[in-house]
A and B are shown apart, each in its own frame.
Chain A
């Protein structure tokens, strides 16, 4: 069965520091890959997505993610974190034969000033 693993439950960084959130998926082929963010009191917002082509994708709010087939990974990065980035981040996949998103357990990001 398809699955998504986000190994870091909670990450704390200082404002201005770089960030990398890890995501690994388990699937026989290349799925569609997504990162969502949920800020406090808000719904899930799509940050970026990968379907095919260039393995480095740019998203909103200065985020990017890189798809690495050999590692079955889709890590999210940001070069300089802002206090407003404090939120919970979810990696998700959609496989070719379904339309449902399969989510990881989420990574909660805390940003210190």
Chain B
């Protein structure tokens, strides 16, 4: 069974540019989460989808971040325009229930 897959694994962009991160959850998992770890800090929740609906987006930093989950399958997280403080590792996770989420390898985003 394929795990949670994230693309790209690394991205280096200039300040002001746009970047789109993609997450393919485990098949059949209705719950999809985005988390972020800024260097040296804890991993922080960004948002939670249940199928295609946003269940909780309380962790989204500001309106430069836009998350979508088309048809309840894969999800994208767009940052537009990117700022220096957006640098970090973005994790996606999925779960069938509340028994513990399965995480992807993360996308390391560097904004220069």
For the complex with contacts A99-B31, A101-B101, 15 further pairs of A-B residues with Cβ separation under 8 Å are A43-B91, A43-B103, A46-B101, A46-B102, A49-B99, A49-B100, A51-B99, A99-B48, A100-B45, A100-B59, A101-B33, A101-B43, A102-B45, A104-B42, A106-B43
Judge if B25 is at the interface, Cβ distance under 8 Å. no
Complex CA gap A105/B104 in Å reads: 19
| Contact among B3, B33, B106 with A100 in the assembled complex (CB-CB below 8 Å) | B33
Residues of A within 8 A of B106 (CB): 43
Closest chain B residue to A32, Cβ basis:
B98
Q: Is the CB of A101 within 8 A of B4?
A: no
| A45 partner residues in chain B, CB cutoff 8 A | 103
Contact B35 A43 (CB under 8 A): no
| A101 and B56 contacting across the interface, CB-CB below 8 Å | no
Give the size category of A's interface with B. Answer: 20 to 34
- Which A residues lie within 8 Å of B33 (CB)? 99-101
Contact with A along B80-110 (1 / 0, CB 8 A): 0000000000010100001111111110000
Nearest opposing residue in chain A for B5, CB measure: A43
B residues with CB within 8 A of A: 3-4, 31, 33, 35, 41-45, 48, 55-56, 58-59, 91, 93, 98-106
The proximity string for A residues 60-72 relative to B, scoring 1 for CB distances below 8 Å and 0 otherwise, is: 0000000000000
CB atoms of B100 and A34 under 8 A apart: yes
Tell me, rounded to whole Å, the shortest Cβ–Cβ distance linking B53 to chain A.
13
Residue of B nearest to A100 (CB): B45
Out of B48, B99, B105, name the residue touching A43 (CB < 8 Å). B105
Is A44 in contact with B103, judged by CB distance below 8 angstroms? yes
A46 with B42: CB separation less than 8 A: no
Q: Within the complex, what minimum Cβ distance (angstroms) separates B27 from chain A?
A: 17
